Structure 1
Amino acid sequence: MSLLSETALPPDSETFTTDELNEGHEPAKKRVSFHTLGCRLNQSETGVLARSFEQQGYAVVPDYARAEVYVLNTCTVTEHSDAKNRQIIRKLHRQNPEAIIAVVGCYAQIDPEAIAKIEGVSLVIGSEEKMRITDYLDQIDSKNTVLIVRPKINKTTFTAPVIPHSSALSTQKLRKQTKTIERDVVPANSTLQFSGTTTSHQSTRTSLKIQDGCDFMCSFCIIPFARGRSRYREFSNLQEEAKMLVQEGIREIVITGVNVGTYKTGKRTLVDVVDFLNTLPGLSRIRISSIEPTTVPEILFQYMSDKQHKLVPFFHIPLQSGSDKILQKMKRRYSSAEYTDEIWRAFESVPDLCIGTDVMVGFPEESETEFKSTLKLLKKLPLAYFHVFPFSARNGTPAFKMKEQVPPTVKQQRGEKLRLLSTKKRRVFHQKFLGQSREVLWESMKPDGTISGYTDNYIRVVLNELYNSDLLNQLLPVRLKELKGQTILGKFESG
């Protein structure tokens, strides 16, 4: 699951500026703003929470706007994540000392008592009950007693609320309000990050949560403690949400979870989820956010190779280390040779495939020799990019007690080397497609007039010409003309 490290509104929530709220809206309407740290799964859940608040009559406002209720959906994958959570809580309290601050999610699950001690916090809800936040708001004690809700995380199949956008709100003017903070780390089970995510219900893409928690118990990972053991969403429930999202205009659905490759309810697997989504009229693309090595059904190679199939040629498969010694200490379920075979099978089976990965530097006892094994493997594999992050010791995990911790300066140096290699590999990957015409799912025009979007194989394309109208949510081909940083400039064909 990939840490986005951003304080942003959910991808498909409807938002209003302060002026818009004062024009044509009831004065008594309470305002709520959302602040989300961490992975795409967190973003997906915040989107559902926003819809739930809309249903209860709240107006969803941008993260910088004053509100009566602030909801912080937290991440706890690193110490830095915890610190950022606390920083945001204090900032929100200074912004409006009278507001209700509700802190939910992974950090709330791991350390609710510490959160409750922070001035301004009214409500702390762990992972099991966070989707029911609106049910607990009325239970808050006005005497400044913090309400903590942290029951044991259920292990059974789950359902998620399926809530259409409020019809009253959807007729109003919608505006994109996204603030992105630079990525700093990526946890074990990473999901791709799209920059330029829209916050309107007119988004180009959104996530569909099919799974939560994890049973793999990697020695460095706090997720099984923060989100519980692996459990799966009822198939009929995810079908219902997918249909609703497409009816609202979503063109691309990103299948997300902590460990999506293990999805299984009855005889239904991840393949059945993809098969169902492929039948939905109006949906143009299906993308799998991240999938663990050894859990990839090879029939997906066939789907990605079929130009008529909606599953796009994209995989994000975490490696973590190229050293077998370190992989064993991490309790990963594959060797470097097995990972290599899986990547090459995918690459040789699917034309134009983009493969990304996650790599950890500075795991305890990682010597220079082990690091060089990782560097050598990454150079050899046909990877388009990788997310690099330093090991962060999390209390409660086996790695926390391991000896021979790697110094921070060494982690930084190793991380810089791998990020430089990733930049070079992405550029090489992009170069292969220069001169080609590829379809792009265009996002909303930015204030400076630029328009960008993504190809099916995860190339970010910036339109290299001024365009008079917004191309939001249109799937149109462009000629890929020129490299520009981590993007490609594209131009519409004349005539």
Structure 2
Amino acid sequence: MTASLRTVTLGCKVNQYETELVREGLVRFGYHDAVEDEQAQLCVVNTCTVTSDGDSKSRYTIRKLARENPDSRIVVMGCYATRAPDELLKLPNVVEVVTDKRELPDVLQRYGVIDLPSGISRFGTRHRAYVKVQDGCLLRCSYCIIPQVRPHVSSRPLQHIVEEVQRLVANGYREVVLTGVHLGHYGVESNWNKPKEAWLRLSTLLRELVKLPGDFRLRLSSIEATEVTRELISVMADNRQRIAPHLHLCLQSGSDSVLRRMRRRWSSRMFIDRCQMLRDALDAPAITTDIIVGFPGETEAEFEATLETARASAFSKIHIFPYSARKGTPAAEMPGQISFEVKTERSARLAELEKQMQREYLASLVGKPLELLVEGEIDAPPLDASIAPLATSSARMQLGTTCRYVPLELRSNLAGDGDLTIVTPTAVAGDRLIA
């Protein structure tokens, strides 16, 4: 009988990919996924340490696994494991803490994995798969702990990525999301001693991936605005049927003085200009972002500058993060820490602006043919006749995500779960489209 395995992931898309790579390696060499009531003999927890909340969730997860699987061995990996291994070794059932991902092949050999796969072939039961192409960050943003726990910059071989995407498409995945700790730096460490014409870039990788056969689309995950080059935009514009017209550009603040304290690499004007470049080259692209509210010393005028930059950038969605001091980062020691009440009030104002911009963007998509990835089916509640006069009765409906990263309710039986299909939305309902 094979040994039972349970894996848990906290944090980002990169972590989700790395967990799946480890799981696939273990399953290939004799483990099986523990069913719901089955005791797991081996548990793997991939931790997050971006915030102190990530640390506490990681500890809670480990303790819960130990209670529910009392005879298990728990292996802990991820950014928290790199930052504070001694803390994690004290937790129940933890037998190993992987402090450096480069040690994973040696660690897994102790659990029977002779060779760690060069890539994945499955990504759970969803229809969207994440593919990690790059690791490590060279930047030193003053609020971020990640460069301390992922300092080694590396890019996966282009051919490994191409073969991995081929496998995923062959296994039924209809969207592949390219991700990395610093996605825009794909290939950068391999270019230092090469002539410019021989450089490996993210755009180089995309040009290879769009050639692959099959019914699928590509999407880029979070990327820095400075790395949205004319060459990258050109690749997206030339391959509109394959690359989703959506980019997540991390703003963090729209105030130039706050950006300097954050040690970001651009001005608000440059960011706005890059957004305009995208709109000039692509058809109604979705631009989403992250914004930190209440960074140390943030004045009312600086926050107003962030609101103004957000308006000018016309985001379709904003992930709002009230600033939380991260021990070990320069920002945690800065004067002028902002009160909880002020951060809450400013976050609410930014959220109201986000709703307004989201409504405007969704309305601009009504009547425009969009590619939809159908991702499930649920009971459809009746819609107000003023929203969609022809769709007021309860029925089954498909839920999916459009190429522009907007959720859509498809109130017809024209497509099935996992299909990529073209639909034309007829109305907006809250934060989603209706077709």
TM-score calculated relative to the size of structure 2: 0.87
The answer as to 2:86 corresponding to 1:113 is: yes
Q: CA deviation at 1:369?
A: 1.7
Relative distance call for 1:63 and 1:380 in structure 2 (3 A) is farther
Cα contact 2:272–2:312 (8 A) shared by 1: no
- Asked if the contact 2:136–2:182 (Cα under 8 Å) also holds between the matched residues in 1, the reply is yes
Kindly state the Cα deviation for residue 130 of structure 1 after the two structures are TM-superposed.
Answer: 6.2
1:135 lines up with 2:82 in the alignment: no
| Preserved CA contact (<8 Å) 1:356 1:383 | yes
The one-letter code of the counterpart of 2:216 is S
Shift of 1:392: 2.1
2 CA distance for matches of 1:360 and 1:29? 47
**Hey, what does 1:245 align to over in structure 2?**
168
Percent same amino acid at aligned positions? Answer: 34
Q: Hey, what does 1:14 align to over in structure 2?
A: none
1:370 CA displacement: 1.1
Q: Distance in 1 between matches of 2:275 and 2:152?
A: 27
CA RMSD, Structure 1 to Structure 2 (Å): 2.3
Q: Distance in 1 between matches of 2:229 and 2:20?
A: 29
- Which letter maps to 1:464? R
Which residue is 2:419 aligned to?
A: 474
Equivalenced residue count is: 408
Matches within 5 A, 1:80-479: 80-129=53-102, 131-132=104-105, 133-137=107-111, 161-164=118-121, 199-200=124-125, 203-264=126-187, 265-266=190-191, 267-306=199-238, 309-445=241-377, 450-465=397-412, 467=413, 471-479=416-424
CA distance in 1, matches of 2:37, 2:208: 39
Deviations 1:123-152 (A, max 9, x none): 21124246435324479xxxxxxxxxxxxx
2:402 alignment partner AA: T
- Which letter does structure 2 place at the counterpart of 1:226? V
- Give, in whole Å, the separation in 1 of the partners of 2:37 and 2:86: 27
Q: Does 1:46 align with 2:19?
A: yes
Q: Could you report, residue by residue, the CA deviation over 1:427-455 in whole angstroms, capped at 9, with x for unpaired residues?
A: 21111111333221111335985421111
SS at match of 2:276: helix
Matched, 1:483 2:415: no
Q: 1:138 to 1:437 in 2, by over 3 A?
A: closer
The separation in 2 between residues aligned to 1:339 and 1:470, in whole angstroms, is: 38
Please tell me the residue identity of whatever aligns with 1:120: N
SS at match of 1:444: strand
**Would the aligned equivalents of 1:252 and 1:283 in 2 still touch at CA under 8 Å?**
no
Cα distance between partner residues in 1 of 2:37 and 2:266: 44
Contact conserved, 1:287 with 1:314, CA < 8 A, in 2? yes
Decide whether the 8 Å contact of 1:360 with 1:388 is kept in 2.
yes
SS of the counterpart of 2:44?
Answer: strand
The C-alpha deviation readout for 1:397-422, integer Å capped at 9, x for no partner, is 21122122112222222222212222
Kept in 2, the 8 Å contact 1:222–1:396? The answer is yes
User: Is the Cα contact below 8 Å between 1:463 and 1:489 reproduced in 2?
Assistant: yes
1:131–1:450: structure 2 CA closer, same or farther, 3 Å change rule?
farther
**Alpha-carbon separation, structure 2, partners of 1:273 and 1:125:** 30
Higher RCO structure (Cα 8 Å, ≥6 apart): 1
State the distance in 2 between where 1:204 and 1:396 align: 38
* Aligned mates of 1:53, 1:62 — CA distance in 2: 16
Q: Within 2, Cα distance between the matches of 1:477 and 1:164?
A: 27
1:394 offset after TM fit, Å? 1.9
Counterparts of 2:399 and 2:209, CA distance in 1: 25
Higher helix share: 2
Q: Is the 8 A contact 2:415 2:421 kept in 1?
A: no
Q: Quote the Cα distance in structure 2 between the aligned partners of 1:111 and 1:214.
A: 19
2:404 partner letter: N
Range 228-237 or range 113-122, more displaced:
228-237
Match of 2:29 in 1: 56
Single out whichever of 231-240 and 32-41 deviates more from structure 2. 231-240
Gaps of 5+ in 1: 1-27, 140-158, 166-197, 491-495
**How has the CA–CA distance of structure 1 residues 100 and 428 changed in structure 2, closer, same or farther, with 3 Å as cutoff?**
same
Q: Which amino acid aligns with 2:409?
A: V
Check conservation: 1:33, 1:65, Cα contact below 8 A: no
State the shift of 1:261 in Å. Answer: 1.2
Counterpart Cα distance in 1 of 2:204 and 2:35: 37
Task: Report the Cα distance in structure 2 between the residues aligned to 1:481 and 1:99, rounded to whole angstroms.
Answer: 52
Describe the shift of the 1:463–1:283 C-alpha distance in structure 2 as closer, same or farther (beyond 3 A).
closer
**Please, which runs of 5 or more residues in structure 2 have no aligned partner?**
192-198, 381-395
Match of 2:9 in 1: 36
Query: Mean alpha-carbon deviation: is it higher for 53-62 or for 290-299?
Result: 53-62
- Report SS of the residue matched to 1:318: coil
Q: State the Cα deviation string for residues 191-237 of structure 1 (Å, max 9, x = none).
A: xxxxxxx822xx42211211111011111111111112322222222
C-alpha displacement at 1:33, in angstroms?
1.6
| In 1, Cα distance between equivalents of 2:408 and 2:360 | 15
- Contact 1:253-1:287 at 8 Å conserved across structures: yes
